[in-house]
Amino acid sequence: MKNRFLANLLLTFIWVALTGNFEFANVLFGFLLSYFLLWVITRGSGNVHYFKLVPRVVSFFFFFLYELVKANLQVAYEVITPNLNMTPGIVAVPLDISSDFQITMLANLITLTPGTLSMDVSEDKKVLYVHSMYIKDREEFIKGIKNGFEKRIIEISG
C-alpha cells in the first residue's frame, strides 16, 4: 500500500511539473488522474486495499466536516438564544475498537467536535467516557458515536 501511495504522489508530482501549474486544483486533478491510472494498471493484481482506502479517507474527512459544522451551529445557537436547551451528561460508550491508535483517534475526534469532550478510557480499553452538552437519549448518543466516528475509524484502520 505504501508503494502505491508513493507512486501516486510521484505521478502527481510529474503531472504538476509537466503542466507547470502548482495550484491546488491542478494538484488535486493530478492526484485523481494518477490514482485512476494506477487503478487501471494494477486492476488484476488482487491487492486493492489502497484503492478502497482512499475513498474511505475522503468520505471520513467529509463526514467529520459535516459533524463539525453541525455541532458548531448547535453550540452557536445555544450561545445566542436566551433559553438553555442543554441536557448535559456523561455517557459510557462501549468500544469495539481496541488499538491505542484507534481509541486515541476516536477520543480526539469527539473532543474536536464542539459540545463533546472525551474524558477517560477504562483500564481494559473497552469503555470511553464522554461528556456532552446534549444528551436527550443515552442510547441514541451511543449509537451516534458507534455508527459515526467509530465505524469509520474501523473502516479506515481495519
What would the pLDDT profile of 27-48 be if each residue is shown by its tens digit?
Answer: 889 888 888 888 888 776 666 6
Mean pLDDT value across the chain: 88
DSSP state letter for 133: S
Distance CA 158, CA 154 (A): 5
Sequence-distant contacts of 116-120: CB under 8 A, at least 24 apart: 116/71, 119/90
Q: Which tens digits make up the pLDDT trace of 50-102? A: 778 888 888 999 999 999 999 999 889 888 988 888 889 999 999 999 899 99
d(CA 79, CA 152): 30
Alpha carbon distance 150, 128 (integer Å): 11
pTM of the model: 0.75
Cell 482506502 belongs to residue: 53
Between CA 142 and CA 93, with CA 150 as vertex, the angle to 5 degrees is: 30
